[in-house]
Amino acid sequence: MRQNAPLSVAILAAGKGTRMKSNLPKVLHKLGSLSLIERVIQNVSLLQPQRCLVVVGYGQEQVRGALVGYPVEFVEQPEQKGTGHAVQQLIPCLADFEGDLLVINADVPLLRTETLRSLIATHQSQKPSVTLLSARVGDPTGYGRVFCNHDNRVVEIVEDRDCTAAQRQNHRINAGIYCFHWPVLGEVLPQLKTDNQQQEYYLTDVIALLPEALALDVQDVQEIAGINDRLQLAEAYQILQERIKANWMAAGVTLVDPNSITIDDTVTLGVDVVIEPQTHLRGHTQIGEGCRIGPGSLIEHSQIGQHCQIFYSVVHESDIGDHTTVGPYAHIRHHSQINDHCRIGNFVETKNTRIGSRTNAAHLAYLGDATLGEEVNIGAGTIIANYDGITKHSTQIGKGSKTGANSVLVAPLIVGEQVTIAAGSTITENLPDDVLAIARARQVVKPGWRLGEGRTTGAGSSSASAYPAPSPSESVQIFVLRLHPHQDLKAELLKFIQQEGIQAGFMLTSVGSLRQATLRMAGATTNQVWRDTFEIVSLVGTLAPSGVHLHLLITDPSGQVRGGHLQAGCLIYTTAEMVIGESLRHRFERQRDEQTGYHELRPRFRS
């Protein structure tokens, strides 16, 4: 009798998996978070084999690439001529191996490690040439049939395609999982022939060549389901989900509607977690005690603390602390870290953002590449503009600060602590602690105004209006004009108001000197012209495209004052420096006054 032999494993993964009808090698199709072959590798790794050999062929670059980091060696099967041919490829690399070889198809992802352990234990206690897993199933279609004589001694295995009608009545099937004594298998492998329906080298044909083969029935036939097509893949997913969900319910988790929930086997859940309907937990996700997740949520690769609530939301690659509420309709993504007692509400998206404790962003916000302190309040409609079209920039918001509704924070930006940002502000510059920042146009209110009619009430009623007057800074604008020797004062002013589009100007202040003055006195029809050097001591009146109406006071070298209505022909001696205001609420028109016969000022409100 042999001693307990060392164990190696061979996983057969070189086939294309034609029935999958896929460009991806079959063994790389995902069952939940892991591919079929990853699941098989995980299972056999727990047996701590000496070596784990993976036979690869079809799509081997993809298969090798997908298994980087797993403790496996690859053996190439250059052409796929059947499962027997696949095992033949191991002969050179197992030349000195004296132990047992567990051969397993890569498409049996639901097999439990305990089942493999009992296969090996049976093999090692009874020491036949091979022990294989078999099962008695309701529908054996597609599987090889196991024919035994007595005591589960296998005589032969006949593939479904090669069975006679009578042989098909045998419902005892081959699971494709074998524990061989390698030195014996190595000897008979070269004798395989291809005299079968598929003209392949069948591994199952070695059974008839070996001195002693033993079959061991598995109790749970679901375990040995081989995945050959997408329907079987979907059925296996259901079985996997049932197992995972049963485990979590047994461990103290409530699943409100298990059929509408999916949970990857890489997820961990604390006690008294409640998972509401239509919720999917994927990848390396951990959910702490007492959380309520869902309805309608997707959480992937994320850590959720204790007693959180997440409903109708997506959380991806992010961490959430304790007692935090997310949703409805929030999207927490790309390394966001949300601390304890936060509230992330309706239509809020966070990306790569750290959020301090007791901070709220309750409605309609985008928080990207930002760090928010504790107790910050993000007003509805706050947007962090983190992308300038080329690069992303970061934003900091200090403890206790508040952003008003519809604020835009243009990154890079540092907002201090206890800052208040007024609603509708676009903040482009850093803000120190304890300030109110307002960055938006002020409201203009035009009393007694209706669309299409303009002003509807008399000018005098504006002071009686209930609306506050607009601030001076926004109803007036200021111009400064300097003239040079020989220029004509009135002509230059007319040119200036044209050029600046001044609608309702008034002279605020002016000084300068003239070498010629041309003025008209009240009631006169002709001008008076003086040539001397004069100081301009006053110039007052209104300026508009409809006309300038200005009165000028000058002093002659003896200090005598002259004054009158400014006419063309006032020529600058050294300078004229004028500050001109404009009312932005008015338009100055002129209209002939029947009483005086002159074109007098008629102010209008601008529409």
Residue nearest to Ca ion (CB): 226
Q: Which does 143 bind (CB under 5 to 8 A by kind): ligand UD1, Ca ion, none?
A: ligand UD1
Residue 101 interacting partner from ligand UD1, Ca ion, none (CB closer than 5 to 8 Å by kind): none
- Scanning 320-433, the segments in alpha helix (DSSP H) are none
Q: How far is the CB of 289 from ligand UD1 (least distance, A)?
A: 41
Kindly give, in sequence order, each residue whose CB lies less than 8 Å from that of residue 195, ignoring residues fewer than 6 positions away. Answer: none
Q: Which is nearer to ligand UD1, 107 or 300 (CB)?
A: 107
The structure tokens listed for 441 are 């146009």
190-196: list long-range contacts, CB under 8 Å, 24+ apart: 190/88, 190/91, 192/84, 192/85, 192/88, 194/81, 194/82, 196/159, 196/161, 196/162
- The SS3 assignment for 244 reads helix
Asked if residue 340 lies in contact with residue 323, where contact means CB atoms within 8 angstroms, the answer is yes
The distance of closest approach from Cβ of residue 266 to ligand UD1 in the complex, given in angstroms and rounded to an integer, is 23
* Residue 486: Cβ-neighbour burial (10 angstroms; 0-12, 13-18, 19+): exposed
Q: How many CB atoms lie within 10 A of CB 151?
A: 8
Of residues 12 and 67, the one with the C-beta less far from ligand UD1: 12
Q: How near is the Cβ of 87 to Ca ion at its closest, in Å?
A: 15
For residues 85 and 307, which CB has a smaller minimum distance to ligand UD1 in the complex? 85
Footprint on this chain of ligand UD1 (rule: CB under 6 A): 12-15, 27, 55, 57, 77, 80-83, 85-86, 105-107, 143-144, 157, 159, 173-176, 202-204, 226, 228
- Binding partner at 159 among Ca ion, ligand UD1, none, C-beta below 5 to 8 Å by kind: ligand UD1
CB of 215 to ligand UD1, least distance (A): 12
List 15, 226, 295, 296, residue binding Ca ion (CB under 5 A): 226
* Residue 225, amino acid: A
Based on the shown chain and the rule CB under 5 A, indicate whether residue 128 belongs to the binding site for Ca ion.
no
Please identify, among the stretches 88-96, 218-226, 279-287, 384-392, the one whose residues bind Ca ion according to the rule CB under 5 A: 218-226
Residue 507: name its binding partner from Ca ion, ligand UD1, none (Cβ under 5 to 8 Å by kind): none
Choose one: 201-209, 219-227, 375-383, 390-398; the region binding Ca ion (CB under 5 A): 219-227
Helix (H) or strand (E) holding 510: strand 505-520
What is the number of the residue whose Cβ is closest to ligand UD1? 144
Rounded Cα–Cα distance for residues 114 and 123 (Å): 14
Instruction: Give the Cα separation of 157 and 179 in Å (integer).
Output: 15
| Smallest distance from ligand UD1 to CB 143, Å | 4
Nearer to Ca ion, 109 or 270 (CB): 109
Token reading at 215 = 């079959």
Q: How many residues bind Ca ion (CB under 5 A)?
A: 3
To ligand UD1, the closest distance from the beta carbon of 80 in angstroms equals: 3
Residue 204 binding target from Ca ion, ligand UD1, none, CB below 5 to 8 Å by type: ligand UD1
Could you tell me which residues come within 8 angstroms of residue 437 by beta carbon, excluding any fewer than 6 positions away? 419, 420, 421, 422, 425, 427, 431
CA–CA separation, 560 vs 168, rounded Å?
133
- Spatial separation of the C-alpha atoms in residues 388 and 457, rounded to whole Å: 48
Query: How many Å apart are CA 297 and CA 313, to the nearest integer?
Result: 5
Q: Choose from Ca ion, ligand UD1, none: what does 356 bind? Cβ within 5-8 Å by kind.
A: none
Torsion of CA 507, 511, 517, 519, to 10 degrees: 30
Name the segment binding Ca ion (CB under 5 A); options: 106-114, 362-370, 487-495, 538-546. Answer: 106-114
Q: Which stretch binds Ca ion (CB under 5 A): 103-111, 373-381, 408-416, 527-535?
A: 103-111
Catalytic, out of 284, 341, 363, 565: 363
| DSSP per-residue string spanning 564-590 | EEE-S--EEEEEEEEEEEEESSEEEEE
For residue 202, the minimal CB distance to ligand UD1 (Å) is 4
Contact 523, 606 (CB under 8 A): no
Shortest distance (Å) from residue 228 CB to Ca ion: 5
Partner whose binding site includes residue 340, from ligand UD1, Ca ion, none (CB under 5 to 8 Å by kind): none
Contact present, 489 and 566 (Cβ < 8 Å):
yes
Closer by beta carbon to ligand UD1, 107 or else 340: 107
Return the percent helix, strand and coil in the chain, to nearest 5: 20, 40, 45
Q: Which is nearer to ligand UD1, 175 or 273 (CB)?
A: 175
C-beta closer to ligand UD1: residue 159 or 264: 159
- CB 144 to ligand UD1: min, Å: 2
Tell me whether residue 20 or residue 364 sits nearer to ligand UD1 (CB atom).
20
The item of Ca ion, ligand UD1, none sharing an interface with residue 80, based on CB under 5 to 8 Å by kind, is: ligand UD1
C-beta closer to ligand UD1: residue 85 or 586: 85
Closest CA to 425 of 408, 401, 444, 443: 408
Concerning whether 284 is annotated as a catalytic residue, the answer is: no
Give the binding site for Ca ion (CB under 5 A).
Answer: 107, 226, 228
Residues with a known catalytic role? 363
